[in-house]
Amino acid sequence: MAGISIKTDPETKKQFSKFCDDVGMTVSGAINLFMKTTVRENRIPFEIKGEAETNDECDSLLRDFESRRDYPGFGTAEELFDNEDF
């Protein structure tokens, strides 16, 4: 069997090893399970999310717009774009 070497920080390795011990599997078994599931399902078997980017200027404009007394609110994007006043 071919070997794989990965790099991780010591604390993550320690915590992951403890988790594997707690559930009765080896680190190698857990990594193999991840790889086999990934190949079988043709996807990473869990959700990967990044943090939403924020734009302070845009957020400020949106807050100002929503605080206007004449802000009518819109149910859909179509309603917003069809409104000639905004």
- Tens digit of each residue's pLDDT (9 = 90 or more) over 29-40: 999 999 999 999
Q: HSE (CB half, 13 Å, CA atoms) of 29?
A: 8
Q: What is the pLDDT of residue 7?
A: 92
Q: What is the pLDDT of residue 11?
A: 94
Where does the pLDDT of residue 80 fall: very low under 50, low under 70, confident under 90, or very high at 90 and above? Answer: low
Mean pLDDT, the chain, rounded, equals 83
Q: HSE (CB half, 13 Å, CA atoms) of 12?
A: 4
- Tens digit of each residue's pLDDT (9 = 90 or more) over 38-71: 999 999 998 887 777 777 777 777 777 777 766 6
With CA atoms as reference, report the closest residue to 86 among 75, 32, 73, 14: 73
Q: What is the pLDDT of residue 56?
A: 79
